[in-house]
Amino acid sequence: MTKGLLTTTVGSFAKPEYLQRARNRHASGKVSAAELDRLTLQATKEVIAVQEQLGLDVLVHGEMERGDMVAYFAEHMPGMQTGELVRSYGNRYYHKPIIGGELQWDVPITVATWKYAQSLTKKPVKGMLTGPYTMVEWSFDEHYGSRRDAVLGMAKVLHKEAQALAKAGAKVIQVDEPAIHTRPEEDFDLAVKAMEVVVKGVDAEFHTHICYGDIPRIYPGMLRLPVKQIHLAFKNTNFELLRLFEKVPFDRSKELGLGVIDVHNHNVEAVKEVRDGIRKALKYVPPDRLWIEPDCGLKTRTPEEVRAKLGVMVSARDEVRGAVRA
């Protein structure tokens, strides 16, 4: 097999209807915690099976236990409280947590789920964390009073979680930072520093995922992030974002995660458009440092759409790989 053009996904998968229903019924007290756990594990098993069938290279557990990438950690982290609804845009709302006290780590939050998912496959399963800058930015801080103190406090807690994942055997840990471009001039150094705290001395390969927002304003600054792979959304701009690498080439010591599937669109991409996108990217990054992935988490799609979209992604990758080898 040609080396390179490995495939993975960004983290979340579509929740099957039975799980979504059970989560809602659990919230209103009609389904027990034990029953919800059982269904969560069942759905996780299905997510692993789908990825194996598709032949993806690095798997995820699908985040069947998480409602939201920030709220989930808030529910389990000492110092944080789950919050109430605020609007993000249009008719979209989310529960915005509150940092109400000193952030602490007492027991692993994500390790048991990761272990279960890894027990189902021989392929590597990524440990999935939400980054310190995003965790703080998408919460209310009632305790620290300065963004710097809160972000660095959060980074220390996430470092312990990363260490626990690595100790349990996770070879790859992804730390998502979708809010990293909120204040690019003011705060980028802080976000980089926080990532250094998270990864320092942890024996694992780190990836980060940054999505949407003003990416050009944080490039090439983002190359300072101490991670092996940086994943960005490219399909939603029809690969226009690749132009960034014309002025400043992508770092030779890093891998690029290439988002090739639009996760906010019900239409399943044609193999040709994905294949052409991968070919465009190969002008800037060689295959051994280029990973093929969707633009973002898949939780907003249906399980059927996920299967179809990922199928297209793998076919497109195979076509390009065949040509690269020839």
Partner 1 sequence: METTVVGSYPRVSDAPDGQRLRRAVARWERRELSDEDLRKVEVDVMQEVVREQASLGVDIVSDGQVTRYDPISHFAGKLEGFEIGGLLRYFDTNTYYRQPRAKGKVRWTNPITVDDWTTASAATVAPVKAVLIGPYTLAAMSANGASNDLLWDLAGAVGNEVSALAHSGVPRIQIDEPALVRAKALPREFDEMVDTVLEGRRRAQATLFTYFGGVGHLLEDLLALPFDFLGLDLVQGASTIEALRRADVTKPMILGLIDARNTKMEDPKEVAKRALALRDRVPLDRSYLSPSNGLEFLPRAKAREKLKVLVYAAKIVREVGE
Q: How many positions of this chain bind partner 1 (CB under 8 A)?
A: 24
| 88 near partner 1 (CB under 8 A) | yes
- Of 199-218, binders to partner 1 (CB under 8 A) are 212-214
* Residue 64 CB coordination number (10 Å): 24
- Separation CA 266–CA 159 (nearest Å): 37
Positions in 135-154 near partner 1 (CB under 8 A): 137-138, 140-142
Q: Between residues 159 and 299, which has the closer beta carbon with respect to partner 1?
A: 299
Q: Is 267 one of the binding residues for partner 1 (CB under 8 A)?
A: no
DSSP states of 88-154: EETTEEEE--EE-S-----S-SSHHHHHHHHHT-SS-B-EEEE-HHHHHHTSEESSSSSHHHHHHHH
Question: Which residues are within 8 A (CB) of 77 and not within 5 positions of it... i.e. 6 or more apart?
Answer: 103, 104, 105, 109, 157
**CA distances, 254 to each of 65, 170, 217, 220, 324 (Å):** 31, 20, 19, 12, 21
- Exactly one of 1, 29, 34, 90 binds partner 1 (CB under 8 A); which one? 90
Q: Among 84, 122, 247, 267, indicate the residue that binds partner 1 (CB under 8 A).
A: 84
The site string for partner 1 over 95-114 (x = CB under 8 A, - otherwise) reads -x-x----------------
Nearest distance from residue 209's CB to partner 1, in Å? 17
Contact criterion met (CB below 8 Å) for 166 and 118:
no
Give the shortest CB-310-to-partner 1 separation in angstroms.
24
Residues at the contact surface with partner 1, assessed by CB under 8 A: 83-91, 93, 96, 98, 137-138, 140-142, 179, 181-183, 212-214
